[in-house]
């Protein structure tokens, strides 16, 4: 029982990893068992008779479980009662880098962690990370008073956006296999430091173990937002996920999801704004007036994205005609296929087409949250909150796809 599937990522063998939240259960308030992400445990959650899956689970492309690991221990007492002992609090997002390492983060914590699955899987709950960026339970914000819960420094109301050693609720990670434009070394980590802070922050390395702050880009749009809207480098002040994703394209750019503003911000690797892709009325020229009104009624339309097609797990050798974006719409329960150049929505994965598509049947979504695509052209969409699953969509080629298919293979 995975519970909320908070992240999904693909490795170099097209295996699928999920980051799950069912393990983080253990706080009791007024004699009611709580899940640290979802409040009181109900019929859709883990309970005393259900055994949670490991925090990180690996499936093959056919959906067979082939591995998993993660230390589910929680603090048994004290001000941090029920919070994780080892893993990131508020499991969120995952990424497999060009060396096969699994990176994970937490949107209620101040860390991202790097694991070697070949070592971690046999160890299971005893698995340890290779390295960690940030400090467990402490965020880039006001220092909590002695004897209090340190996690109180982790919230979107304390966006310091300044530390070179601390993060604040990072939901997503990408790793660059190419030489860094500043240091010339490979393996730079781009972190969406974005539930508490409002930045993409880059850490560089020479050995894959020690990571050093190098640069950051992105600012807090502030509240109220300026009359003309947030600028091309400013993320929404509140609403969760600012930025919510970070993706490296083979065009040399960095794509970051500004979830509160329903748009994708595009930067160079050194932080110069390139463009913004708005998931607004201009993106849906083919929608009926009724569907468009329904889509625009809900925000958070840029929750997560992946670039398509991807020949390998990180787009390092994907075709240069990587022309599409798969964009996940959290509130409208859908996933759209966008033309990367124009930002126009061409189609949708949901069975409802370009329209809100809530539900639990195949092709419907309940809190569609993250997405990833594999080398075969399959797209995966993970659902959180009440969704608690991952769906796989396979490509069906038509005449218009022939050029794309030649690029893909």
Separation CA 264–CA 246 (nearest Å): 10
Separation CA 173–CA 131 (nearest Å): 14
Domain extent at residue 354 = 5-408
> What pLDDT, on a 0 to 100 scale, did the predictor assign at position 396?
84
Residue 91: CATH number of its domain: 2.120.10.30
How many domains does the chain fold into? 1
Under DSSP, the state recorded for 120 is H
Q: How many CB atoms lie within 10 A of CB 43?
A: 5
Separation CA 310–CA 408 (nearest Å): 8
pTM listed for this prediction? 0.93
Residues (pLDDT < 50) of the chain are: 399-409
> What pLDDT, on a 0 to 100 scale, did the predictor assign at position 38?
55
Order of strands across the sheet that contains 39-40 = 25-29, 32-35, 39-40
Judging by DSSP bridges, how do beta strands 334-339 and 345-348 pair with one another?
A: antiparallel
């Amino acid at each position: 029982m995975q519970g909320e599937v908070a992240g999904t990522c693909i490795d170099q063998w097209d295996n699928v990893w999920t980051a799950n939240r069912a393990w983080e259960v253990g706080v009791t308030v007024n004699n009611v068992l709580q899940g640290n992400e979802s409040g009181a445990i109900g019929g859709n959650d883990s309970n005393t008779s259900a055994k949670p899956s490991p925090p990180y689970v690996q499936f093959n492309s056919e959906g067979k479980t082939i591995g998993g690991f993660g230390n589910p221990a929680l603090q048994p007492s004290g001000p941090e009662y029920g919070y994780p002992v080892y893993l990131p609090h508020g499991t969120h997002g995952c990424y497999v880098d060009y060396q096969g390492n699994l990176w994970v983060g937490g949107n209620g914590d101040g860390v991202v962690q790097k694991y070697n699955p070949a070592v971690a899987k046999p160890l299971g709950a005893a698995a340890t990370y290779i390295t960690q960026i940030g400090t467990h339970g402490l965020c880039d914000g006001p220092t909590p008073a002695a004897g209090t819960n340190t996690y109180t420094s982790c919230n979107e109301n304390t966006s310091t956006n300044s530390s070179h050693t601390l993060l604040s609720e990072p939901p997503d990670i990408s790793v660059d296999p190419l030489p860094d434009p500043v240091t010339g070394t490979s393996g730079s980590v781009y972190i969406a430091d974005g539930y508490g802070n409002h930045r993409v922050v880059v850490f560089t390395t020479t050995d894959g173990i020690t990571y050093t702050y190098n640069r950051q880009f992105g600012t807090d749009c502030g509240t109220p937002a300026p009359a003309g809207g947030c600028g091309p480098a400013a993320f929404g002040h509140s609403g969760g996920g600012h930025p919510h994703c970070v993706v490296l394209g083979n065009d040399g750019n960095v794509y970051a999801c500004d979830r509160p503003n329903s748009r994708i911000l595009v930067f160079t690797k050194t932080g110069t704004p390139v463009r913004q892709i708005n998931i607004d009325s201009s993106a849906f020229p083919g929608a009926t007036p009724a569907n468009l009104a329904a889509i625009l009624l809900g925000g958070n339309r840029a929750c997560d994205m992946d670039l398509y097609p991807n020949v390998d797990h990180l787009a390092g050798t994907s075709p240069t005609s990587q022309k599409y974006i798969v964009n996940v719409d959290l509130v409208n329960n859908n996933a759209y296929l966008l033309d990367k150049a124009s930002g126009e929505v061409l189609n949708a994965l949901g069975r409802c087409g370009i329209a809100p598509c809530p539900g639990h049947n195949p092709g419907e979504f309940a809190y569609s949250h993250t997405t990833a695509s594999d080398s075969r052209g399959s797209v995966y969409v993970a659902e959180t909150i009440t969704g608690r699953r991952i769906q796989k969509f396979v490509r069906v080629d038509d005449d218009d796809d022939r050029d794309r298919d030649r690029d893909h293979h």
